């Protein structure tokens, strides 16, 4: 089975550790934690994740600013980002609250819901890449 790489960025190390341990028990994912927002961009470039779980509110650099940096970086721009936030209610999340093309999940999030959201985001990304128009690279065309 091809394990997907998940980067969890949150200033709460207990939360990132819990998410990592839970996701790794599914055997579907290799997970890396980053608890320092200023290092998140470098960590993402080094780890090359398939998906990023990103806290909205962190000291110094907020999640929105980091997501903008990821989208501006050609190496990271196509990586799906799912925001984890304590500022969004479960009702708002159930209504499919999406802002700026990002999905938001309320903290705390259960493993079943988190895995479902991750799988949906990865499937959507795979579907997009499958239907991209590739430039014709044959000479003379």
Residue range 25-47, pLDDT digits in tens: 999 999 999 999 999 999 999 99
| CB 7, CB 49: distance < 8 Å | yes
Who wins on pLDDT, 138 or 82? 82
H helix runs in 6-94, sequence order: 13-25, 40-47, 63-72, 90-94
Name residues whose C-beta falls within 8 Å of residue 41's C-beta, 6 or more positions apart in sequence: 66, 69, 70, 73, 76
Residue 135 belongs to some domain of the structure = no
Residue range of the domain that includes 34: 4-130
Which one, of 43, 2, 39, 3, lies nearest residue 23 by Cα? Answer: 3
Residue 96 belongs to some domain of the structure = yes
The mean of the pLDDT values for the chain is: 85
How do residues 76-135 score in pLDDT, each as one tens digit? 999 999 999 887 655 555 554 455 667 888 888 899 999 999 999 999 988 876 655 555
Residue 57 has pLDDT above 60, yes or no: yes
Number of structural domains (the chain) is 1
Residue 141 belongs to some domain of the structure = no
CATH of the domain at 125: 3.40.50.2300
């Amino acid at each position: 089975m091809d394990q997907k790489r998940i980067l969890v960025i949150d200033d709460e190390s207990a939360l990132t550790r819990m998410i990592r341990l839970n996701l790794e028990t599914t055997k579907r994912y290799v997970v890396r934690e980053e608890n320092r927002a200023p290092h998140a961009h470098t960590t993402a470039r080094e780890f090359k994740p398939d998906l990023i779980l990103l806290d909205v509110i962190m000291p110094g650099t907020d999640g929105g600013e980091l997501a903008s940096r990821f989208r501006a970086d050609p190496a990271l721009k196509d990586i799906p980002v799912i925001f984890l936030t304590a500022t969004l209610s479960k009702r708002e999340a159930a209504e499919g609250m999406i802002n700026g093309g990002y999905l938001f999940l309320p903290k705390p999030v259960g493993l079943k819901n988190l895995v479902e959201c991750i799988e949906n985001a990865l499937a959507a990304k795979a579907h997009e890449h499958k239907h991209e128009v590739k430039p014709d690279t044959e000479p003379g065309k």
